[in-house]
């Protein structure tokens, strides 16, 4: 039975995970063949920690691991980057089947359901309850906890969490005579874009992504899947509205959509080179984007995603999950590491270093961050936007469903004769078959 479940998981490789954090990967290493934990010659318990994504994100994790290892002499964490979320998850699944999975890994939130239900993760509910005074689950922002629970049990602790936010080149907007405080909604986004186009600029460049689509569906008052996760809901009027909007903007030359394996990187190049004035990106990119703006001599601002009927945004990023098949000593050692990485002090550190959300309310409310936001307000937008956050679908088949959605949207947006409603209806039929398995 387990082998059948694992084969099913391995079949679910996902673009959903690529889009949900908004950054590329670096330093991809082959999966290690050692056990998830071991004893060092010094008697330490050695645990493997597998990570996703590169650049400043990986640097922050390396710095925190080093800090943990130097803080005590009983546990040694060995970190290995495994590429993007898709690569990491596939390697964890394969290693688990072979009996040498990492003790802990970065779990992209929309994949929590399939990992938890397959028996690959430790139920953290009793550990969090036992150590409530130290862990304080209620201190985590409620807008980030939806995907941490599966069937009422806690399987992940929020770590490097994100939302998509709206990035603006303030310099380009002012040069075009536009108020950089906007646009605040879809209508204003179209109006701003027409002015920018008339000035010879590309208003926005973006890849067709399911994470961004989830935001626009929420803004339209809809859902991607039914409440029980067993049926497609994205072919409703609220689910089709974003595709119709994007198609109109594409047809009018107001959004340039990139396609292919380098779609995200190509869109980022347009932003970096000041070809496009707007981008939708993860809050994980705030730090790097500020560096780009400074290096290219323009002013950058961040804002809520423009609203439709209301504001709305999915969360993303990862939580730390502990794999099962560990003995009690190994599990306790891994749990100590997870608590360290998700502490108030360290959530402040990774937030300032990268831009990921300050997951803990105590971190967000600290004098350190409140003073920091006065100098760098770009970092605060994502936390403010969480009041409009929705959780991502946790259905086992959502990775495959998301691929179906992206294919349908791409076809509808880029092919003149394809109607968005027809494309999403066809995709819904395919999705319902996947969800019924």
In this structure, the strands spanning 104-108 and 316-322 are antiparallel
Residue 73's pLDDT is what? 95
Residue 36's pLDDT is what? 56
Residue 437's pLDDT is what? 83
Residue 194's pLDDT is what? 98
How would you write the pLDDT of the chain (437 residues) with one tens digit per residue?
444 444 444 444 444 444 455 444 333 333 333 345 555 556 899 999 999 999 999 999 999 999 999 999 999 999 999 999 999 999 999 999 999 999 999 999 999 999 999 999 999 999 999 999 999 999 999 989 989 999 999 999 999 999 999 999 999 999 999 999 999 999 999 999 999 999 999 999 999 999 999 999 999 999 999 999 999 999 999 999 999 999 999 999 999 999 998 999 999 999 999 999 999 999 999 999 999 999 999 999 999 999 999 999 999 999 999 999 999 999 999 999 999 999 999 999 999 999 999 999 999 999 999 999 999 999 999 999 999 999 999 898 998 999 999 999 999 999 999 999 999 999 999 999 999 98
pTM: 0.86
Residue 4's pLDDT is what? 43
CA distances from 97 to 3, 4, 79, 101 (A): 8, 11, 20, 8
Residue 37's pLDDT is what? 53
Q: Say if residues 156 and 319 touch (Cβ distance below 8 Å).
A: yes
Structure tokens at 191: 């109006």
Residue 394's pLDDT is what? 87
Q: Say if residues 225 and 239 touch (Cβ distance below 8 Å).
A: no
Q: Return d(Cα 396, Cα 248) in angstroms, integer.
A: 33
Q: Is 327 exposed, middle or buried (0-12, 13-18, 19+ CB in 10 A)?
A: exposed
Distance of CA 113 to the CA centre of its chain: 15
Structure tokens at 254: 């107001």
Phi/psi of residue 412, nearest 5 degrees: -65, -40
Q: Which contacts of 342-349 are long-range, i.e. CB under 8 A and separated by 24 or more positions?
A: 342/157, 342/158, 342/159, 344/139, 346/64, 346/67, 349/60, 349/63, 349/64
Q: Return d(Cα 38, Cα 20) in angstroms, integer.
A: 33
CA distances from 109 to 70, 147, 251 (A): 29, 6, 34
Distance of CA 418 to the CA centre of its chain: 30
Residue 335's pLDDT is what? 98
Q: How many residues does the chain have?
A: 437
Q: Return d(Cα 168, Cα 221) in angstroms, integer.
A: 25
CA angle 260/265/271 to nearest 5° reads 125
């Amino acid at each position: 039975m387990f082998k059948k479940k694992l084969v099913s998981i391995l079949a679910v490789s996902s673009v959903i995970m690529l889009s949900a954090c908004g950054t590329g990967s670096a330093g991809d290493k082959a999966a290690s063949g050692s056990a998830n934990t071991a004893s060092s010659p010094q008697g330490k318990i050695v645990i493997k920690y597998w990570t996703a994504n590169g650049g400043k994100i990986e640097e922050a994790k390396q710095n925190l691991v080093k800090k943990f290892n130097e803080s005590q002499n009983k546990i040694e964490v060995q970190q290995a980057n495994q590429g993007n979320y898709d690569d990491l998850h596939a390697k964890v699944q394969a290693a688990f089947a072979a009996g040498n999975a990492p003790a802990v890994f970065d779990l992209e939130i929309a994949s929590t359901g399939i990992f938890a239900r397959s028996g690959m993760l430790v139920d953290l509910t009793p550990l969090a309850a036992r150590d409530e005074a130290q862990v304080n689950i209620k201190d985590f922002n409620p807008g980030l906890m939806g995907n941490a629970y599966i069937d009422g049990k806690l399987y992940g602790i929020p770590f490097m969490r994100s939302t998509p936010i709206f990035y603006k080149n303030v310099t380009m907007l002012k040069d075009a005579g536009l108020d950089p405080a906007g646009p605040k909604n879809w209508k204003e986004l179209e109006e701003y874009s027409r002015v920018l186009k008339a000035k010879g600029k590309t208003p926005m460049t973006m890849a067709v992504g399911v994470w961004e689509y989830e935001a626009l569906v929420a803004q339209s008052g809809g859902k991607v899947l039914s409440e029980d996760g067993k049926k497609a809901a994205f072919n409703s009027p609220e689910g089709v509205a974003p595709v119709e909007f994007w198609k109109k903007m594409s047809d009018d030359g107001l959004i340039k959509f990139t396609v292919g394996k380098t779609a995200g990187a190509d869109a980022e190049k347009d932003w970096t080179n000041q070809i496009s004035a707007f981008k939708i990106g993860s809050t994980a990119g705030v730090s790097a984007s500020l560096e780009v703006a400074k290096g290219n001599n323009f002013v950058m601002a961040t804002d809520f995603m423009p609203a439709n009927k209301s504001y709305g945004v999915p969360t993303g990023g990862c939580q730390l999950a502990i794999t099962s098949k560990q003995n009690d000593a190994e599990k306790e050692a891994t749990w100590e590491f997870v608590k360290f990485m998700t502490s108030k002090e360290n959530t402040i550190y990774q937030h300032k270093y990268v831009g990921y959300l300050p997951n803990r309310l105590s971190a967000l409310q600290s004098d350190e961050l409140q003073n920091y936001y006065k100098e760098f307000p770009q970092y605060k937008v994502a936390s403010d936007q969480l009041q409009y956050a929705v959780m991502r679908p946790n259905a086992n088949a959502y990775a495959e469903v998301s691929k179906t959605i992206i294919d349908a949207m791409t076809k509808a947006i880029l092919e003149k004769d394809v109607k968005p409603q027809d494309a999403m209806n066809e995709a819904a039929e395919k999705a319902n078959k996947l969800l019924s398995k």
